[in-house]
Amino acid sequence: MSRLPFYLIVGLLMLLGIGTSLHRHIQMEVPWTPGEQRQVWEVEAIVDFTALGDPARVELALPSHQRGYRILTENTASPGYGLSFLQDESGRRAQWATRRATGSQQLYYSVRLLVTDDQRKRQIARPPLRDVSWERPYDTAAAQVIERAWMRSADPYTFTRELIRDFSDELQGENARLLLTQFERTPLLVRLLNQAGVHAQEVSGLLLEDGRRRQTLTSWIMVFEDEENWALFDPRTAEQGQPDNLLLWEAGGRAVLEVQGGTNSRVTFSMLSRSQPAAAAVRSQLADDTLLNFSIHSLPLEEQALFQTILLIPIGALVVVFLRILVGIKTSGTFMPVLIALAFIQTTLPTGLIGFLLVVSVGLVIRNYLSYLNLLLVARVSAVIITVIAIISIFSVLSYRFGLNAGLTITFFPMIILAWTIERMSILWEEEGPKQVLIQGGGSLITAVLAYLAMNNPWIRHITFNFLGVQLIIMALILLLGNYTGYRLLELRRFKPVTED
């Protein structure tokens, strides 16, 4: 009988559980603790244009998940326009369209972004080299600028830096000045880079600053070292690297805004930074769950609330397994304490304890009378169930009359379980005496209270709800406990007399 398959299964469950939890933590930015605060940016883009009275079509580039930022939610406001979101390899775009529009038009797009520690660079497809042709006399100027920068550089990045430096204000050479008279700075630089055989494209980014309004996008140059690696360059200062507060709005080398059927179009941005609890930030993440990101958050809210409770049951089961196998506490009914603990969550602990003791003790008295009636078992337990319901109703009404609203929560107790508990305790009383009833009843209550404390812990609630992988870890732990052949804690006391002589 090899135990290898057993340990393999346990190890696999452990690995899978830890793996998926880590994945959710790192990839989806789900925090380990519920209290953590996260910074969230709210950015609003306003597209303004004057419509010409014809069908109008507006295309706006949209940001995607990227290094340092994760999109939580996005909204648009554009009455009278049809809206669709397009996605291709160059990025996401929103497309508004209408049959007829006249006068000043305003379209709104707002996005909430979670600031993350995700440092991985986004994969962006390398743009092809474009053929570059110049008119005289710009061709010689361009060739000389390239030649000069080429000599003083070793690779695409240093070349870019030298090239931009040539165009910067203080050091501007004659050739550069000539070229700038004819071309815009950023497209010109991309053109020169392409001519020198360096893959590059112009991208647009938004510098995030709290409380700023009417901001515009700034242009940046994305230079590719090879197929995968790229770096951002500031075309003004030649600085390499992406500033932390730069949100790449359009990274596909396409226009940010395209308007057909309108003039004077422009897009401006306003932004606001807020802090919010991490759990809330996680909850509002877009439901782009794949199998790996498998999460309860993709369910409707009502079912989510239900699952929040269901996912706690394994924690209760773990407490029961722990107390029975490692400690050796006796309970009446194996998992009855878990159900009682679930009721405690609804009633709060003091009310729950008082309610439980009241129902069980009154139930025991009535059950004691029932035993004189000489009934068949099923009929008797059914009678106890009705008795329990009656007791619960009476307590609810009484507590409400006395203004104790907490008493109303007593209805959360699982009545059939309570009836069986009463029946079992009553038999135990008859056969083994009140002492055993106290031991088992007390054991059940202690287990229920401990299970309640574990299940009601905010941190445990957060972990079980947000990391489904934890369920696999619990499973592995329970399997391991099921393999334990050592002594129970209470056995150390029970067998003590043997060691004495």
The HSE-up count of residue 359 (CA atoms within 13 Å, CB side) is 35
Report d(CA 55, CA 35) in Å as an integer: 50
Report d(CA 393, CA 385) in Å as an integer: 12
Q: Closest approach of Cβ 371 to other proteins, in Å?
A: 9
Q: Closest approach of Cβ 497 to other proteins, in Å?
A: 5
What does the angle CA 256 – CA 258 – CA 263 come to, to the nearest 5 degrees?
125
Could you tell me which residues come within 8 angstroms of residue 89 by beta carbon, excluding any fewer than 6 positions away? 125, 252
Report d(CA 289, CA 297) in Å as an integer: 9
* Residue (64 or 371) nearer to other proteins, CB: 371
* Residue (301 or 376) nearer to other proteins, CB: 376
* Residue (357 or 492) nearer to other proteins, CB: 492
* Residue (128 or 486) nearer to other proteins, CB: 486
CA distance from start to end of the chain? 38
* Residue (171 or 498) nearer to other proteins, CB: 498
Phi, psi angle pair for 81, to nearest 5°: -110, 145
What does the angle CA 240 – CA 119 – CA 194 come to, to the nearest 5 degrees?
35
* Residue (4 or 171) nearer to other proteins, CB: 4
Q: Closest approach of Cβ 114 to other proteins, in Å?
A: 47
Q: Closest approach of Cβ 483 to other proteins, in Å?
A: 7
**Contacting residues toward other proteins, per CB under 8 A:** 1, 325, 328, 374, 376-378, 427, 431-433, 483-488, 491-499, 501
Q: Where are the beta strands (DSSP E) in 176-304?
A: 200-207, 218-224, 230-233, 246-250, 257-260, 262-277
Report residue 450 as tokens. 């401990």
Measured from the Cβ of residue 34, the count of other Cβ atoms closer than 10 Å reads 18
Q: Closest approach of Cβ 338 to other proteins, in Å?
A: 20
* Residue (185 or 324) nearer to other proteins, CB: 324
Q: Closest approach of Cβ 496 to other proteins, in Å?
A: 4
* Amino acid code (one letter) for 445: L
Q: Closest approach of Cβ 429 to other proteins, in Å?
A: 13
- CB of 98 closer than 8 Å to CB of 80: yes
The 10 Å CB-count burial string (b at 16+, else e) for 315-345 is bbbbbbbbbbeeebbebbbebbbbbbbbbbb
User: What is the SS3 assignment for 342?
Assistant: helix
Q: Where are the beta strands (DSSP E) in 363-494?
A: none
* Residue (181 or 485) nearer to other proteins, CB: 485
User: What is the SS3 assignment for 239?
Assistant: coil
Q: Closest approach of Cβ 385 to other proteins, in Å?
A: 15
Cα 292 from chain centroid (whole Å): 13
* Residue (1 or 171) nearer to other proteins, CB: 1
* Residue (170 or 500) nearer to other proteins, CB: 500
Q: Closest approach of Cβ 481 to other proteins, in Å?
A: 9
Q: Closest approach of Cβ 3 to other proteins, in Å?
A: 11
Kindly report the three-state secondary structure assignment for every residue of 194-208: HHCCCCEEEEEEEEC
Radius of gyration of the chain (CA): 35
